[in-house]
């Protein structure tokens, strides 16, 4: 995908040349050059204020280019095949690069459980029928029918403590949705062991922790 985007970066500007009337955009080129060489801080969104003036010229030149891109027929406008080919190719290129259903996103796998989904489902098999369980919000549907089902907030890293976990017989943790550093994950695991929880299951970042019998 990275190589594909690099090719687009090099070739894409040339695809739009037929849609620009160069005579109307050339006056803005010196201004654009000054903007590009200016030593100014770049914000989060770049420097859009520098692009506004140039975009006006681009739109004007595009209008004139579109006015001349076809030839008049008897009862219709005949558009050049090259122009249509360029438009189709451009649409295809940016669809492949940016679309949510791009081939790079593997849309043919939508609706199919991946290995992580299978691990999430498997993680609840280790729980007793009457166990009090805490899981992240994305796993709650797997235990929603239980009488003692709770949501474990993992948005902010934390170190578990005895008071926090005293009512839970089991805890399921999903590293895939927790934006934690490696050290924070290690601290979590060490503290769970210190609180007498055994890690009964681990796969694809999903962990099932069961409290040791006789502790609490």
- Convert the chain into a string of H (helix), E (strand) and C (coil): CHHHHHHHHHHHHHHCHHHCCHHHHHHHHHHHHHHHHCCCCCECCECHHHHHHHHHHHHHHHHHHHHCCEEECCCCEEECHHHHHHHHHHHHHHHHHHCCCCHHHCHHHCCCCCHHHHHHHHHHHHCCCCCCEEECHHHHHHHCCCCCEEECCCCCCCCCCHHHHCCCCEEEEECCCCCCCHHHHHHHHHHHHHCCEEEEEEECCEEEEEECCCCC
- pLDDT for res 208: 94
Q: Which tokens hold the place of 2?
A: 């990275």
User: Using CB atoms within 10 A of its CB, is residue 14 exposed (0-12), middle (13-18) or buried (19+)?
Assistant: exposed
Q: How confident is the model at residue 46 (pLDDT cuts 50, 70, 90)?
A: low
Share of the chain above pLDDT 70, in %: 76
CA 82/CA 88 separation, integer angstroms: 10
- Over residues 113-136, the mean pLDDT reads 87
What is the per-residue pLDDT across 85-112, written as a single tens digit (0 to 9) for each?
888 888 888 888 887 778 877 777 666 6
Which residue in 206, 154, 161, 152 sits closest to 180, CA to CA? 154
């Amino acid at each position: 995908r990275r190589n594909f985007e690099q090719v687009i970066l090099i070739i894409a500007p040339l695809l739009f040349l037929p849609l620009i009337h160069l005579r109307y955009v050339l006056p803005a080129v010196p201004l654009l050059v000054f903007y590009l060489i200016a030593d100014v801080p770049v914000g989060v969104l770049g420097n859009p204020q520098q692009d506004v003036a140039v975009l006006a010229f681009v739109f004007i030149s595009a209008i004139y280019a579109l006015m001349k891109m076809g030839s008049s027929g008897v009862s219709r406008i005949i558009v050049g095949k090259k122009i249509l080919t360029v438009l189709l190719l451009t649409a295809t290129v940016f669809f492949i690069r940016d679309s949510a259903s791009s081939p790079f996103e593997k849309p043919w796998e939508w609706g199919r459980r991946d290995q992580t989904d299978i691990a999430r489902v498997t993680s609840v098999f280790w729980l007793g029928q009457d166990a009090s369980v805490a899981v992240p919000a994305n796993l709650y549907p797997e235990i929603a029918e239980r009488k003692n089902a709770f949501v474990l907030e993992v948005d902010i890293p934390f170190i578990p403590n005895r008071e926090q976990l005293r009512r839970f017989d089991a805890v399921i943790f999903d590293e895939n949705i927790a934006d934690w550093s490696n050290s924070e994950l290690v601290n979590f695991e060490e503290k769970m062991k210190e609180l007498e929880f055994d890690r009964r299951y681990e796969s694809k970042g999903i962990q099932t922790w069961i409290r040791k019998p006789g502790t609490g």
